[in-house]
Amino acid sequence: MTRSALTYYLHISLLVSAAIPGFALAEGTGKVSCNITENGQPASGVISVQKDGNEIATTSCGRELSVPVGNYVAALRLDGAFDGPEQRQNIEVKVGGAQKLSADFSTGIIEVRITSGGRRAAGMAVIKRKGQQLGTLGSGVTAHVSAGTYRILVRYRGQEKDLGDVTLGSAQRLSLDAAFD
Q: Are residues 98 and 136 in the same domain?
A: no
Mean pLDDT within 65-75:
97
The string of pLDDT tens digits covering residues 32-52 is: 999 999 999 999 999 999 999
CB 45 within 8 A of CB 103: yes
pLDDT at 104: 98
Q: Are residues 144 and 118 in the same domain?
A: yes
**pLDDT band (50, 70, 90) for residue 2:** low
Q: In this prediction, what percent of the chain has a pLDDT beyond 90?
A: 85
User: Which DSSP string do the residues of 92-132 spell out, in sequence order?
Assistant: EE-TT-EEEEEEEE-EEEEEEEEEETTEE---EEEEEETTE
Domain containing residue 127: 107-180
Residues β-bridged to residue 8: none
CATH number of domain containing 47: 2.60.40.10
User: 3-state class of 50 per DSSP?
Assistant: strand
Q: Are residues 68 and 121 in the same domain?
A: no
Q: Are residues 123 and 176 in the same domain?
A: yes
Mean pLDDT within 44-71:
96
| Within-domain flag for 112 | yes
Q: What is the tally of structural domains in the chain?
A: 2
Last residue of a domain, one of 105, 140, 169: 105
Distance CA 103, CA 89 (A): 9
CA-nearest of 25, 26, 45, 27 to 35 is 45
CA-nearest of 36, 180, 177 to 110 is 177
